[in-house]
Homo-oligomer: A and B are copies of this chain.
Amino acid sequence: MIYLDNSATTYPKPTCVYEALDYANRNLAFNAGRGNYSVSNQASKIIDETRESIASFVKADARQVSFVSSATEALNLIILGLHLEDGDCVYISPFEHNAIVRPLYTLKNYINIEILILPFNTETWEPNLPKIEEMFSIKNPKAIFISQLSNVTGLLIDYEQIFAISKQYNCVTILDSAQSFGIKNPNLDNVDFCVFAGHKSLYASFGVAGIISKKYKELKVIKSGGNGSNSLNHNMPDSGPERIESGSPNIVAIYGLLTSSKWLKNNDVLKHEEELTKYLIKSLSSLKKIIVYKPSDIFKLLGIVSFNVEGYLSDDVATILNDEFEIATRSGYHCSPFVHNFIDSEKYNGTVRISLGAFNTHDDIDQLICALKSL
């Protein structure tokens, strides 16, 4: 199998991560912070060390890093935890994923928020900043959600400029870094909450993700439960990452993340992905009947490229690639409801998406191109 669905989950992981997960399952899988015994305390230390390792990617403080089970959970805790009220305006980019869109619409069932889509130029894929400033001045932003890297198009979205404008309105800024954290690390200067996913660009396993923030105390508690301390208190802690961490920590997944984050620091996956992305775009663009979705400046894409083949629905192409060539890609809407209107891919029922990882090669791309030529 040639695996080209690394945005869904990176595969394979580095060998050291598999070894770490196996070791942790057999030797470290105790309940951190809940026992007065050595291996439980050891688990707590591993969690602290992993907070430090994640924080170091973005020069944050370890105490800003929380761990939850998935980026979806992290985004739900933020969205439902913000003190949004009737009439508040929330902005998202057209590239956002259902991990943001659905919780916002879930909230909208109870609170009359307005969900507005930021205008982006369909040629350059750049934010239309003057128009955004105008929108903000008319309908002040209460919260804004942007993905650092679009899971459908591979676009590195210019969140920095948008967040800088947002901050003039005392707006809460949320950066979804699920597709990039660890590889292309964000600048958190104007970011209130940054979300990362262990099993994607961080090359760890399912079961761990988290938030980097100085502002946990500003979130309402949504999920609560035992946290091994202060058992007689019916409330979660007032501040710090523990405010949103309830239930037994997944120490095995956290130890895997510690291992993978060390591996990432010693391997230039960014350079590898940049090179392969350029090669992929160039190779796809050379084919007839292929529509490659890209902005005028292709250097804004990283690791992910979407395309379609004239005369085929996206699902049909992915099915042929799997059945006839053992090439694993993803097709359809990719849980991103608004981007297909933006790139005009609805007539293909979405896109065929190629998402690259640390272990893909030029040969993988050559084989994909060879397969596509047969269509």
Q: Are B1 and A72 in contact (CB under 8 A)?
A: no
A186 CB-CB contact with B under 8 Å: no
A73 to B72, CA, bound (A): 13
Indicate which residue in B234, B246, B248, B253 contacts A337 across the interface (CB closer than 8 Å). B234
A46 CB-CB contact with B under 8 Å: no
Indicate which residue in B30, B103, B231 contacts A335 across the interface (CB closer than 8 Å). B231
A253 to B326, CA, bound (A): 26
A87 CB-CB contact with B under 8 Å: no
Contact (A247, B72) CB under 8 Å given A22-B21, A235-B106, A236-B102: yes
A272 CB-CB contact with B under 8 Å: no
Which of A7-15, A119-127, A163-171, A296-304 lies at the interface? A7-15
Nearest-neighbor residue (CB-CB) of A35 within chain B: B330
Indicate which residue in B9, B37, B105 contacts A318 across the interface (CB closer than 8 Å). B37
* A72 neighbours in B (Cβ, 8 Å): 223, 225-226, 246-248
Contact (A36, B330) CB under 8 Å given A25-B22, A30-B9: yes
A293 CB-CB contact with B under 8 Å: no
Shortest CB–CB separation between residue A255 and chain B, in angstroms? 11
Nearest-neighbor residue (CB-CB) of A200 within chain B: B248
Contact (A225, B22) CB under 8 Å given A328-B35, A333-B232: no
Q: Which of A5, A26, A223 is most buried by chain B, counting CB atoms within 10 A of its CB?
A: A223
A16 CB-CB contact with B under 8 Å: no
Q: Are B36 and A226 in contact (CB under 8 A)?
A: no
A232 to B233, CA, bound (A): 42
Which of A58-66, A93-101, A139-147, A360-368 lies at the interface? A93-101
Interface residues of A (CB under 8 A from B): 1, 5, 8-9, 11-13, 18, 21-22, 25-26, 29-31, 34-40, 69-73, 75-76, 80, 97-99, 101-103, 105-106, 199, 205-207, 221-228, 231-236, 246-253, 315, 318-319, 321-322, 326-337, 340, 350
Q: List 30 A-B contacts (CB under 8 A).
A: A8-B35, A9-B31, A11-B29, A11-B30, A13-B29, A18-B22, A18-B25, A22-B22, A29-B205, A29-B206, A34-B335, A35-B328, A40-B328, A75-B225, A76-B224, A97-B225, A98-B224, A98-B227, A98-B234, A99-B226, A101-B234, A102-B225, A103-B223, A103-B224, A103-B225, A106-B224, A231-B332, A232-B333, A232-B340, A234-B337
Given A102-B224, A106-B222, A234-B337: 20 more A-B contacts, CB < 8 Å: A5-B31, A5-B37, A5-B40, A8-B248, A9-B29, A11-B29, A21-B25, A22-B25, A34-B335, A36-B315, A36-B318, A37-B329, A38-B328, A39-B328, A69-B207, A72-B247, A72-B248, A105-B235, A106-B236, A206-B250
